[in-house]
Each structure stands twice: as C-alpha cells, then as structure tokens.
C-alpha cells in the first residue's frame, strides 16, 4: 500500500488487488464514518440517549412478535 498523492482535499492510496474486499469495505465505511462525524457537536451522552430512545420505541413496536 502506497500513498500516491496527497493534497488539501484528497489523498490517493494504491492498494494491491489481492487485498480482502470485505475488509477493505469495512475500512472505507469507517473512513466515511469519520468524515461524516468530524464536525458533529454531539457528545457520547447524546448518542447514548438517542440509542436508548430508539431501542425503547423499537421494542414497544415489536415486542408482540417475541412475547407469544
């Protein structure tokens, strides 16, 4: 793996075609996550609260499918 070019807006990396595509996709997904969250002002507490609210409302909507 070699960094071919780097400037203010972009970095170009050359990767051998033999690399595991699944692993590479996971790395790309992580880099997208970093890009999307880099300017977020949300705290971990905010994320935890949102996750708890989402889980609670999902469970309320779906618990009848599991409690038989």
17-65 residue pLDDT tens: 999 999 999 999 999 999 999 999 999 999 999 999 999 999 889 989 9
Beta strands 11-14 and 2-6 are antiparallel
Number of domains in the chain: 1
Residue pair 1/15 in contact by the 8 Å Cβ criterion: yes
Q: How far is CA 46 from CA 29, 41, 50, 53, 54, in A?
A: 22, 10, 6, 11, 12
Structural domain harbouring 24: 2-66
pTM score, two decimals?
A: 0.57
CA dist 61 and 43 (Å) reads: 27
């Amino acid at each position: 793996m070699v960094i071919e070019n780097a400037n203010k807006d972009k970095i170009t990396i050359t990767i051998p075609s033999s690399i595991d595509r699944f692993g590479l996709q996971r790395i790309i997904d992580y880099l997208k996550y970093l890009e999307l969250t880099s300017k977020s002002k949300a705290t971990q507490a905010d994320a935890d609260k949102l996750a708890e609210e989402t889980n609670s409302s999902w469970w309320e909507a779906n618990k009848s499918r599991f409690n038989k």
